[in-house]
C-alpha cells in the first residue's frame, strides 16, 4: 500500500482498547475542526467534525473533544478494531479553506 507518512507520530493500541489521538491547532479563528482517516492506498475519508462553539461531539464509536483554551483537539475511538489502523488527520476549516495537520499513525495490535 501507499506510505503516507514515514515519520509521523504513532500510537499503538491493543484491539478492544480505547484510542485517543491528539492534535494542536494554531488559529482561534477556525470555524470548524474536522477529523479524517486515511487507510493505506486510499484517499482521506471524513470521520467527524465539530463546530468551534462546541466542546464535544459524538459519532458512531468516535468522540471529538475541543478545548479552545489550550487550542487542542482530540479524537477518541472506542473499542478500537483492526480496521481502525490508519493515519488520522485533524483539519481546520477557515472560511472556504481547509488546513490539514501532519497526521498520526494508529496501529492496532491483535
Q: What's the CA gap between 43 and 36, in Å, rounded?
A: 10
Cell of 48: 467527524
Query: Residues 46, 59, 67, 109: which binds another protein (CB under 8 A)?
Result: 46
Q: Residue 96 interacts with another protein (CB under 8 A)? A: yes
In the complex, what is the shortest distance from the CB of residue 84 to another protein, in angstroms, rounded to a whole number? 18
The CB density around residue 66, as the number of other CB atoms within 10 Å, is 21
Interface region with another protein, contact rule CB under 8 A, candidates 10-18, 63-71, 75-83, 101-109: 101-109
Q: Residue 75 interacts with another protein (CB under 8 A)? A: no
Amino acid at each position: 500500500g501507499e506510505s503516507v507518512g514515514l515519520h509521523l507520530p504513532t500510537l499503538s493500541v491493543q484491539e478492544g482498547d480505547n484510542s485517543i489521538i491528539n492534535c494542536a491547532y494554531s488559529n482561534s479563528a477556525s470555524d470548524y475542526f474536522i477529523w479524517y482517516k486515511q487507510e493505506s492506498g486510499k484517499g482521506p475519508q471524513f470521520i467527524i467534525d465539530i463546530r468551534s462553539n462546541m466542546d464535544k461531539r459524538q459519532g458512531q464509536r468516535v468522540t471529538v473533544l475541543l478545548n479552545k483554551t489550550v487550542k487542542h483537539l482530540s479524537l477518541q475511538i472506542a473499542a478500537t478494531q483492526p480496521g481502525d489502523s490508519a493515519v488520522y488527520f485533524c483539519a481546520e476549516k477557515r472560511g472556504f479553506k481547509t488546513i490539514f495537520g501532519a497526521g498520526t499513525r494508529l496501529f492496532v495490535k491483535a
